[in-house]
């Protein structure tokens, strides 16, 4: 799981960053699908950001 406070345009970059970290640290995704939970309305955030958790089911080699 990774928590981010990001603008809408950074969702893809954030997903990529998690997968890169996982690969660099010996983790691999399982067959379960990843998902995200967004906790706020970005339009109400002072910097127009989303507070979001990205979840990727993993196993370690």
Which CATH number goes with the domain that contains 31? 3.20.80.10
pLDDT of residue 61: 74
Q: How many domains, the chain?
A: 1
Q: How confident is the model at residue 14 (pLDDT cuts 50, 70, 90)?
A: very high
CA neighbor of 30 nearest in space, from 55, 60, 58: 58
What distance in Å separates the CA atoms of residue 44 and residue 9, rounded to the nearest whole number?
17
Residue 31, token pair as written in the block? 């067959």
Q: Can you give the residue range of the structural domain that contains 47?
A: 2-60
pLDDT of residue 60: 80
Main-chain dihedrals φ then ψ at residue 43, nearest 5 degrees: -70, -20
Q: What is the pLDDT of residues 28-58, one digit of tens each?
A: 999 999 999 999 999 999 999 999 999 999 9
pLDDT of residue 20: 94
């Amino acid at each position: 799981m990774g928590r981010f406070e990001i603008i809408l345009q950074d969702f893809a970059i954030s997903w990529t960053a998690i997968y890169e970290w996982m690969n660099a640290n010996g983790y691999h995704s399982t067959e379960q699908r990843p998902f995200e939970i967004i906790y706020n309305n970005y339009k109400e955030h002072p910097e127009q950001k989303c507070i979001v958790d990205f979840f990727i089911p993993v196993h370690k080699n």
